[in-house]
Amino acid sequence: MIPLACLLLIVAPPQVVIVTPRGETIVPIATERGSSAVAAPLLARPLGLSAALEGSRATVALGGAIFVFQLGAPFVRAGGVVYGLVGEPYVARDTLFLPLHWLADCVPRALGARYHWNAVATRLEELPVAGAVAAAPPPAATAPAAAPVPPPVGRPANAPNPLTGLRHHHAVVIDPGHGGADPGNPGRFFSGGLVEKDITLAVARLLRAELTRRGIAALLTRTSDTLIDLADRGASCRAECDLFVSIHVNAMPAGRSVERTSGVETYFLSDAKTEDQERVAKMENDALRFESTPTGGSRGPVDFILKDLQLNEYLRESARLAELVQDKAVAVHPGGDRGVQQAGFMVLTTARRPAILVETGFATNRTDAAFLGSSLGQHKIASAIADGIVAYLLEFERKLVAAPAGGP
Ligand SMILES: [Zn+2]
């Protein structure tokens, strides 16, 4: 029998309170998909929110801002900024559900002068706007100067994490390559009809679990079999993201010692120096042709890369991250060490943080494919990548301490 206290904890109805100058409304929190979400129609009246669903795209207007969601994708776009989300928007019983994280985190960040999230009371508070009519979104300039939203509680933690030794809060965006209409490489030696997009998602989920276990926040660019534009994947690693890792599976083209080539290699963004690096970048950038909105593609792949390479201020950090991840991955991989490589991957160009792409092995090699297709192999590679990330973050924290404050 379950003690009553526990039962209460289990069944206590989770809810969010919307507090506006017009009154208080209680909105239940749904957890049917694993993460907390709220039904958009229930926010319509208290917040004056409107939502439109068009195919897999949900457009939500709130407080003068437009938020564009993609069903099944853990991010939202607003005013040219991409915010990572815990959980994804979904439709159930003909109703659009939005991640609670969006309401609690993105709305106050995007509309800081207008909304405040009270995490303790699970309350979203709409701040009064002088002389404003509820339905008319006020221009930002006339909004009262509100205190900036404080950073999440416990952000800089000074006691080292007992598992990793890390002292600060860190967040990582993990990108499972391909998805939806884009299967990635066909996975010649994978069993059960698996293709690259299945392996990348499985490894990415395990990597998220491994990072979470180590006290590092981790977000996936996709958590299901959907296609996310290359530019959006990297863009989800900006403000509150320390680094970006894209997961892929390699393949050799027919003819060229196709079955003999094996091993793991880790890339950082730079121009390709060898034919092999060029081949891998071309293969991964090819995902562009599956994209429905040709935003990134219209610039042309070459232009895209050359232009953004100049903006890549994290070249040295990315190379170091690649080195540390590669070191750990090699130690568990049956296929051997193909080293740290560099090439022009579009998915890495939009990340404004150190960014790497791990080619976790070759689907065209029997040993690599068996390793990547197995639960044990996936666990091993995910855990190794997590170890590499921790090693990098430890170095990063040591540099923070060593850097003289206010020095030239
Ligand atoms: Zn790939």
CATH number at residue 69: 3.30.457.10
Asked if 201 and 299 sit in the same domain, the reply is yes
Strand order in the sheet with 95-99: 37-39, 95-99, 90-92
Q: From ligand 1's centre to the CA of 280, what distance in Å?
A: 8
Asked if 21 and 109 sit in the same domain, the reply is yes
Q: From ligand 1's centre to the CA of 382, what distance in Å?
A: 16
Asked if 284 and 359 sit in the same domain, the reply is yes
Considering the domain boundaries, does residue 178 fall inside one? yes
Beta bridge partners of 340: 266
What's 229's domain CATH number? 3.40.630.40
Q: From ligand 1's centre to the CA of 33, what distance in Å?
A: 28
Q: From ligand 1's centre to the CA of 58, what distance in Å?
A: 27
- pLDDT, residue 381, reads 98
Q: Which residue has the higher pLDDT, 406 or 371?
A: 371
Considering the domain boundaries, does residue 286 fall inside one? yes
* pLDDT tens for each residue of 39-94: 998 898 888 888 888 888 888 888 778 888 988 888 888 877 788 888 899 988 88
CA distance 189 to 44: 50
Mean pLDDT of the chain: 82
Contact yes or no for 397/168 (Cβ under 8 A): yes
Q: From ligand 1's centre to the CA of 372, what distance in Å?
A: 14
Asked if 97 and 175 sit in the same domain, the reply is no
Ramachandran angles phi, psi of 246, nearest 5°: -105, 135
Q: Is 89 exposed, middle or buried (0-12, 13-18, 19+ CB in 10 A)?
A: buried
The reported pTM is 0.62
Both tokens of 91, joined, read 């439709």
Considering the domain boundaries, does residue 110 fall inside one? yes
Q: Which residue has the higher pLDDT, 294 or 372?
A: 372
In 3D space, the residue among 350, 354, 370 whose CA is nearest the CA of residue 362 turns out to be 370
**Block residue for tokens 């926040």:** 217
Domain boundary among 128, 154, 183: 128
- Cα dist. 352→273, 310, 311, 325 in Å? 23, 12, 9, 19
Contact yes or no for 296/230 (Cβ under 8 A): yes
User: Quick one: pLDDT band at residue 13, thresholds 50, 70, 90?
Assistant: low
Close Cβ partners of 43 (under 8 Å, ≥ 6 residues apart): 18, 27, 49, 62, 98, 103
CA distance 379 to 372: 9
Considering the domain boundaries, does residue 298 fall inside one? yes
Query: Which residues lie at CB < 5 A from ion ligand 1?
Result: 177, 184, 248, 284
- Cα dist. 28→16, 31, 236, 247, 390 in Å? 6, 10, 28, 36, 37
Asked if 33 and 90 sit in the same domain, the reply is yes
Considering the domain boundaries, does residue 62 fall inside one? yes
Residue 147 has pLDDT above 80, yes or no: no
Q: From ligand 1's centre to the CA of 171, what distance in Å?
A: 23
User: What 3-state class would DSSP assign to 269?
Assistant: strand
Considering the domain boundaries, does residue 225 fall inside one? yes
Both tokens of 340, joined, read 């740290």
**Block residue for tokens 């009064």:** 128
Q: From ligand 1's centre to the CA of 297, what distance in Å?
A: 17
Average pLDDT for 177-191: 93
Asked if 176 and 38 sit in the same domain, the reply is no
In 3D space, the residue among 230, 214, 210, 240 whose CA is nearest the CA of residue 85 turns out to be 240
Domain boundary among 112, 128, 144: 128
Q: From ligand 1's centre to the CA of 371, what distance in Å?
A: 17
**Block residue for tokens 């159930």:** 92
Q: From ligand 1's centre to the CA of 185, what distance in Å?
A: 7
Asked if 63 and 199 sit in the same domain, the reply is no
Considering the domain boundaries, does residue 160 fall inside one? no
Considering the domain boundaries, does residue 297 fall inside one? yes
Asked if 63 and 178 sit in the same domain, the reply is no
Q: From ligand 1's centre to the CA of 402, what distance in Å?
A: 38
Q: From ligand 1's centre to the CA of 249, what distance in Å?
A: 5
CA distance 157 to 154: 6
**Block residue for tokens 């509820």:** 134
**Block residue for tokens 């049917």:** 32
Asked if 206 and 295 sit in the same domain, the reply is yes
Asked if 89 and 195 sit in the same domain, the reply is no
Identity of the residue numbered 276:
D
Domain extent at residue 115: 15-128
Contact yes or no for 312/349 (Cβ under 8 A): yes
Q: From ligand 1's centre to the CA of 240, what distance in Å?
A: 26
Q: From ligand 1's centre to the CA of 9, what distance in Å?
A: 43
Q: From ligand 1's centre to the CA of 198, what distance in Å?
A: 11
* pLDDT tens for each residue of 231-287: 889 888 877 899 999 999 999 998 868 899 999 999 998 888 899 999 999 999 888
Start-end of H helices in 73-195 = 100-101, 107-110
Asked if 80 and 178 sit in the same domain, the reply is no
Ramachandran angles phi, psi of 83, nearest 5°: -105, 130
When divided into structural domains, the chain yields a total of 2
Average pLDDT for 159-184: 93
Q: CA-based angle 68:26:217, to the nearest 5?
A: 50
Asked if 248 and 354 sit in the same domain, the reply is yes
Please, what is the end-to-end C-alpha distance for the chain in angstroms? 66
User: Quick one: pLDDT band at residue 312, thresholds 50, 70, 90?
Assistant: low
